[in-house]
């Protein structure tokens, strides 16, 4: 029986959908539920990683270190992961996260920029953390480039390398190709992180596992950026049906999803026209709420903004482009009229 490690990202990727407003009590309740479900790892941090609480990305309602500490007090044998993006999070953020209780660090870069992660990965290993290289926006690079970048992560000391479909833009055959190539060219374990903007998160996750991935991400009730992630409780049930071993108690993970997470969700994680366009155009999933705000402010169709962002190949960190594009569309319409 093949073993699969499911990592739950509700308390990190879900922060985008929650506008970074998780409370300590919510974190404690989710952590207790995931502990009962025997989740091996779950992630706690600002949606944009350690240090992400800012004017550009959105301020956290509660300091992320306090949330990590709260999760640590409730997690039992489960382990806490944190995400860190070099340039947003600094070394001191990672050290502080370890003091607060983190046991895994996922060092995330754009798919072509793994070379900026060396110092963070070295530090993570020095601190005794399970260390992951996280290649974001994986649809934006050919497989050969992804292999090159993964080899860089491996050379720095990453123990697991993730193909990350940040825009929810990949199709199953594209996921298989990327995962299989990494399995052939690096010795690390391989992971996959999906978004559901094209309603393919679960299909892509299964494709990744079939191609050799042994770590996969999910979020309870799909709570995450854009249309959310692969739904953790559904994924666990499907893996069980397929004969994969996750070690997760199905009833308990369903309970924490329905009884804890569902009541505090600001809205269902459904595929709207806008999130669909994000996957279609290949736009970073965390841009959704920023785009909706800009569309309302300038009275333009948010889909037009997303299509332009896709044409520009915008990536995380370029949120300022959203308002600029919305303003240009509005000005153009006034000129035409």
* CB atoms near residue 289 (< 10 Å): 17
Which segment of 94-108, 118-132, 271-285 scores lowest on mean pLDDT? 271-285
- Pair of tokens at residue 33: 């539920």
Domain count, the chain: 2
Which segment of 64-73, 197-206, 275-284 scores lowest on mean pLDDT? 275-284
Same domain (yes/no): 320, 178: no
Task: Calculate mean pLDDT across residues 3-22.
Answer: 97
195 is in an annotated binding site: yes
Give residue 284's pLDDT band: very low, low, confident or very high (50, 70, 90): confident
Residue percentage of the chain with pLDDT more than 90: 79
Instruction: Identify the pLDDT of residue 308.
Output: 87
Do residues 105 and 131 make contact, with C-beta atoms less than 8 angstroms apart?
Answer: yes
Instruction: Identify the pLDDT of residue 337.
Output: 62
Residue percentage of the chain with pLDDT more than 70: 99
Quick one: which H or E segment has residue 7?
Answer: strand 5-8
Q: Distance between CA 46 and CA 58 in Å, rounded?
A: 9
In which residue are the tokens 């999933």 written?
Answer: 285
Same domain (yes/no): 96, 45: yes
Instruction: Identify the pLDDT of residue 113.
Output: 96
Q: Is 172 exposed, middle or buried (0-12, 13-18, 19+ CB in 10 A)?
A: middle
At which of 230, 264, 298 does a domain end? 264
13 is in an annotated binding site: yes
Q: What angle do CA 155, 284, 246 make, to 5 degrees?
A: 60
Same domain (yes/no): 185, 243: yes
Q: Is 208 exposed, middle or buried (0-12, 13-18, 19+ CB in 10 A)?
A: buried
Q: Distance between CA 278 and CA 44 in Å, rounded?
A: 25
DSSP per-residue string spanning 252-307 = HHHHIIIIIIHHH-SS-----HHHHHHHHHT--GGGHHHHHHHHHHHT--HHHHHH
Which segment of 111-125, 234-248, 268-282 scores lowest on mean pLDDT? 268-282
At which of 213, 236, 264 does a domain end? 264
List 16, 110, 120, 139, catalytic entry = 16
State the DSSP code for 179.
Answer: H
Same domain (yes/no): 255, 278: no
Q: Distance between CA 133 and CA 71 in Å, rounded?
A: 23
Give residue 196's pLDDT band: very low, low, confident or very high (50, 70, 90): very high
Instruction: Identify the pLDDT of residue 155.
Output: 98
Phi, psi for residue 297 in degrees, rounded to 5: -65, -40
Q: What pTM was computed for the model?
A: 0.92
Same domain (yes/no): 97, 223: yes
Q: Any idea what the CATH number is for the domain that residue 322 is in?
A: 1.10.8.60
Per-residue pLDDT at 279 exceeds 80 = yes
Same domain (yes/no): 21, 162: yes
Pairing status of strand 5-8 against strand 41-43 = parallel
Phi, psi for residue 66 in degrees, rounded to 5: -65, -35
Task: Calculate mean pLDDT across residues 74-100.
Answer: 96
Q: Distance between CA 286 and CA 275 in Å, rounded?
A: 10
Instruction: Identify the pLDDT of residue 204.
Output: 98
110 is in an annotated binding site: no
Instruction: Identify the pLDDT of residue 142.
Output: 97
Same domain (yes/no): 218, 302: no
Instruction: Identify the pLDDT of residue 150.
Output: 98
Same domain (yes/no): 59, 37: yes
Tens of pLDDT along 290-312?
A: 888 888 999 988 888 888 888 88
Task: Calculate mean pLDDT across residues 139-146.
Answer: 96
- For 109-139, give one letter per residue: b (16+ CB within 10 A) or e: bbbebbeebbebbebbbebebbbbbbbbbbb
Quick one: which H or E segment has residue 131?
Answer: strand 130-136
193 is in an annotated binding site: yes
- Pair of tokens at residue 111: 């798919």
Which segment of 220-224, 226-230, 330-334 scores lowest on mean pLDDT? 330-334
Residue 16 appears among annotated catalytic residues: yes
Same domain (yes/no): 229, 297: no
Q: Which domain holds residue 313?
A: 273-336
At which of 264, 287, 314 does a domain end? 264
Quick one: which H or E segment has residue 147?
Answer: helix 143-156
Instruction: Identify the pLDDT of residue 178.
Output: 98
Per-residue pLDDT at 165 exceeds 80 = yes
Same domain (yes/no): 260, 302: no
Q: Any idea what the CATH number is for the domain that residue 57 is in?
A: 3.20.20.70
């Amino acid at each position: 029986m093949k073993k699969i490690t499911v990592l739950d990202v509700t308390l990190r990727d879900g922060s985008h959908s929650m506008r970074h407003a998780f409370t300590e009590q919510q974190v404690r309740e989710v952590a207790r539920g995931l502990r009962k479900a025997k989740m091996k790892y779950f992630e706690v941090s600002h949606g944009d990683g350690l240090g992400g609480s800012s004017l550009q990305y959105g301020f956290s309602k509660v300091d992320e270190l306090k949330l990590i500490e709260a999760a640590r007090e409730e997690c039992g044998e489960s382990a806490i992961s944190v995400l860190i993006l070099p340039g947003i999070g600094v070394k001191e953020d990672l050290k502080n996260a370890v003091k607060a209780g983190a046991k895994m660090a996922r060092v995330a870069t754009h798919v072509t920029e793994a070379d900026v992660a060396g110092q963070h990965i070295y530090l993570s290993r020095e601190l005794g953390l399970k260390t992951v290289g996280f290649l974001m926006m994986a649809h934006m690079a050919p497989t050969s480039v992804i292999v090159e970048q993964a080899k860089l992560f491996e050379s720095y000391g990453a123990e697991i390398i993730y193909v990350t479909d940040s825009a929810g833009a990949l199709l199953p055959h594209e996921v298989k190709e990327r995962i299989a190539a990494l399995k052939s060219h690096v010795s690390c374990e391989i992971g996959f992180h999906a978004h559901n903007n094209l309603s393919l998160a679960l299909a892509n996750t299964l494709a990744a596992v079939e191609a050799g991935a042994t770590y996969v991400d999910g979020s309870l009730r799909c709570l995450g950026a854009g249309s959310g992630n692969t739904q953790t409780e559904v994924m666990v049930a499907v893996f069980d049906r397929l004969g994969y071993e996750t070690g997760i108690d199905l009833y308990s993970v369903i309970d924490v999803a329905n009884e804890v997470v569902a009541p505090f969700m600001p809205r269902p994680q459904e595929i709207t026209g806008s999130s669909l366009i994000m996957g279609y155009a290949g736009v970073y999933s965390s841009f959704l709420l920023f785009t909706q705000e800009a569309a309302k402010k300038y009275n333009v169709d948010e889909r037009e903004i997303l299509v332009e962002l896709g044409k520009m190949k915008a990536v995380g960190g370029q949120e300022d482009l959203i308002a600029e594009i919305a303003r240009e569309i509005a000005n153009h319409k006034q000129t035409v009229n």
